[in-house]
Every structure is written in C-alpha cells, then in structure tokens.
C-alpha cells in the first residue's frame, strides 16, 4: 500500500484529478439525495453544515471540485512550462490534505467556529499559489504569471462568502459565488483558448491534414480573455447588472467567434479533442445566457448551471482525462467509458437549464436526471482512469 500511495502523491495530477472525480460524484450524490427527500416531503432534523443545503452545494461545486482540478493541472503543467523542479511528495501530500481539510471543515461547519472554517477553507489556494509562484519565476512570462491573479480572484470570491457567513458583512456571499465561478470561467477562457486550438491542430496534422487548420482572430482572443477577467472584477466592486450583463454578452460572443476558427467539425471522430470544443462552446453559451439574464431575459440560475456543468464540468473532464493519459504514457485516445462521459455533460447542462427555465413541473425531473448524468460521467472517469492514477508510467503511448 505504501508504494501505490507514494506513486499517487508523486505527481500532482494523480491525487488531485482523482480527488476531483471522486468529489464530483460525492457532492452531487449528496445534493440530489437531499433534493429527493425534500421533494418527497421529508426533511433532515439537522444538517452537518451551517449554511443552507443549496449554499453548501454551490460552494463545493465552485470552491471544492474545481479547485482540486486546478491543483492537479498547475502542479503538473507549470514545471513543464518553466523547467522548474516539480513539487515533491511531501508538498503534494500536504496540499491534498489541506484541500480535503477545507471540504471537511465546510461539511461539519454547524459544529465549528465560522472563523475556523474560513481559515481552513481559505488556506488551500494561497498554499497552491505560493508553490506555483516559485516555479513561475524561473521563467516569468506574463501570459503564465497571470494565472496567479486568476487564482487570487477565485480566492476573493470565497473570502467574500466567508465574510457573510462569519457575520462581518450582510450581503457579500451572493456576489462571492459568482466571482468564484467567473474566476474559474476566466481560467477556462485562457487555458481552453490555448489548448483547444493547439491540440486540434496536432490531431489534424497527425491525420495528414495540412489545410483548414485552426486559426485565431486576435481581436476575439483579446476580447474573450479580457472580458472574462473583467467580469469577476466588475462583480467584486458591485457594478450594476446592466454593466455586468453587457460584459458577459461581449465575452460570450467573443468565445463563440474564437471557437468558430478552430475547425470543430473536423474533430468529431476524436472524442478527446471534441470534448474540449464542447466545453468551450458551453462556456460561450453560458456567458451569453448570463448576460441576457442580467438584462432581464431568462433565468440567471439556469445560465450559471450551463457554465458550472457544461463549461467547468465539461472542460475539466476533458483536460483531466487527456492529462492523465498523456502523463502516464498512455495513448491519447479516450477510453470508451470516458468518451461516453464526455457526451453526458452537455446533456446534463441542457437538462439543468431546462429545469430552471421552463414550467415548474419539469424542475425536479430535470435536476434529478441532470444530476444522474453528472454522477455517471465522473464515475466513468474515475473507473476508467483508476489504473492510470495508481500505476507506474508506461514506457510508450501518450505524449
């Protein structure tokens, strides 16, 4: 058991991607289970967490599940970008323990001091940020250093929530949830905007295609990235909804224009590539729906779930599975179970959007089926890639 555990903690993607997959299943099982009991007319006498269940759900799906994926990504990618030494077992184990401690503190927050809960929950991102900062300064390119700022934005969103839960403020949690989500979406706008066309180009060239390769439009790149960063900042300072709605519409349109140049139709035969395109498409769609909701058209909650399920969930699943295969020497071909999981998340996002946008009679069926699809997708991911997380790297296969 010691050797497999040492291997699990030997590379950041192993423990954190596995944690993200497992927690993605657990958190939605808890949420849909609670909703099912509530829909049937039942209730719990006491919840272990101090906040209402829907806020526990929102917090953990923004600051729990995705931050594990970010930890695995940055601890793996940054050393490759900079040539710095990768984090060692002790650091990776400590970071994973700190992330887990945050989840436990939130879960048992009803019996803990809110200040203690805040301190524990808010510790992981700075701990991660300090490590990757020491690696980034080895080769301090602005396009990479900016990720420290995006991590800070996500952290500020969580801090705003805890300020209200502690009792320091009266109305910062609502904005904090959105700041955190849109901070993560900004990560996707930047990282997804890099890897999606690059991996698509590589896949097409491997097939011998020399024309109709992905192209970038500079104005759309600048608008899509700039708007994605500007939106959570506007939410932090409390800009009016007409302003945030306009920013979101502009940002979403820019993402769709960016995607239109990346030859999505040519990737349909390679699930591990088209999954990136699907996640990015839902990113742009979610921004547009949120912008319309801020201007009084449509449901904001529905728009936020398109972003959370389709963009964050979809892009996270696509990147984690690709990285896990590639960094363990396996072929960059999605196992059938993972390819099926890719298809489940866009459908889950559509059903969740429908549940909040249409007649109330579809609310619970839409949520339960959407939740089941999410659970199935991440359960398939964990099951299919379990050997990759625990086993030695293969000598040949992925890049």
Residue 124, in any domain of the structure: yes
Between 206 and 348, the more confident residue is 348
pTM: 0.95
Long-range contacts of 99-107 (CB under 8 A, 24+ apart): 99/16, 99/19, 99/67, 99/68, 99/71, 99/124, 100/19, 102/63, 102/64, 103/23, 103/60, 103/64, 106/49, 106/56, 106/59, 106/60, 106/64, 107/48, 107/49, 107/56
Q: Domain range for residue 338?
A: 2-390
Under the banding of pLDDT at 50, 70 and 90, the label for residue 399 is very low
Rounded to whole angstroms, the Cα distance separating 129 from 63 reads 15
Residue 291, in any domain of the structure: yes
Residue 56, in any domain of the structure: yes
Q: How many CB atoms lie within 10 A of CB 88?
A: 10
> Domain holding 17: CATH number?
1.20.210.10
pLDDT in tens, 130-154: 999 999 998 999 999 999 999 999 9
Residue 397, in any domain of the structure: no
pLDDT at position 397 is: 45
Structure tokens at 15: 């423990």
Per the CB < 8 A criterion, the answer to whether 51 and 45 are in contact is no
Rounded to whole angstroms, the Cα distance separating 57 from 107 reads 10
**Overall domain count for the chain:** 1
pLDDT at position 398 over 50: no
pLDDT in tens, 39-61: 888 777 788 999 999 999 999 99
Residue 119, in any domain of the structure: yes
Under the banding of pLDDT at 50, 70 and 90, the label for residue 209 is confident
Instruction: Please give the mean pLDDT across all residues of the chain.
Output: 95
Residue 294, in any domain of the structure: yes
Residue 316, in any domain of the structure: yes
Under the banding of pLDDT at 50, 70 and 90, the label for residue 396 is low
Residue 324, in any domain of the structure: yes
């Amino acid at each position: 058991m010691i050797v497999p555990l040492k291997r699990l903690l030997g590379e950041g993607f192993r423990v954190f991607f596995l944690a993200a997959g497992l927690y993605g299943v657990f958190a939605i099982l808890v949420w849909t289970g609670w909703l099912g009991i509530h829909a049937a007319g039942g209730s719990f006498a006491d919840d272990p967490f101090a906040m209402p269940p829907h806020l526990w759900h929102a917090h953990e799906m923004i600051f729990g599940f995705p931050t594990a994926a970010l930890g695995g990504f940055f601890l793996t990618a940054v050393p490759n970008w900079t040539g710095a030494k990768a984090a060692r077992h002790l650091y990776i184990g400590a970071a994973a323990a700190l992330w887990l401690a945050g989840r436990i503190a939130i879960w048992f927050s009803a019996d803990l001091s809110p200040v203690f809960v805040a301190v524990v929950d808010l510790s992981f991102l700075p701990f991660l940020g300090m490590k990757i900062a020491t690696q980034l300064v080895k080769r301090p390119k602005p396009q990479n250093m900016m990720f420290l700022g995006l991590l800070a934005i996500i952290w500020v969103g969580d801090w705003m929530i805890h300020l209200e839960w502690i009792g320091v403020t009266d109305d910062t949690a609502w904005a904090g949830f959105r700041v955190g989500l849109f901070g993560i979406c900004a990560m996707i706008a930047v990282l997804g905007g890099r890897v999606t066309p690059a991996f698509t180009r590589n896949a097409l060239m491997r097939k011998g295609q020399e024309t109709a390769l992905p192209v970038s439009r500079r104005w759309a790149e600048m608008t899509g990235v700039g708007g994605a960063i500007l939106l959570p900042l506007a939410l932090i300072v409390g800009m009016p909804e007409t302003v945030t709605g306009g920013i979101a519409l502009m940002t979403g349109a820019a993402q769709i224009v960016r995607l239109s140049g990346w030859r999505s139709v040519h990737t349909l035969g390679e699930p591990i590539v088209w999954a990136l395109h699907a996640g990015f498409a839902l990113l742009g769609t979610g921004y547009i729906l949120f912008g319309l909701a801020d201007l009084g058209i449509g449901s904001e909650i529905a728009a936020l779930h398109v972003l959370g399920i389709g963009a964050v969930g979809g892009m996270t699943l696509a990147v984690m599975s690709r990285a896990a295969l590639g960094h363990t020497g396996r072929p960059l071909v999605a196992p059938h179970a993972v390819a099926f999981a890719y298809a489940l998340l866009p459908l889950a996002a559509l059903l969740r959007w429908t549940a909040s946008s249409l007649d109330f009679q579809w609310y619970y069926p839409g949520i339960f089926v959407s939740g089941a699809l999410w659970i199935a997708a991440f359960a398939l991911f964990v099951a299919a890639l379990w050997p990759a997380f625990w086993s030695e790297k293969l000598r040949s296969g992925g890049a």
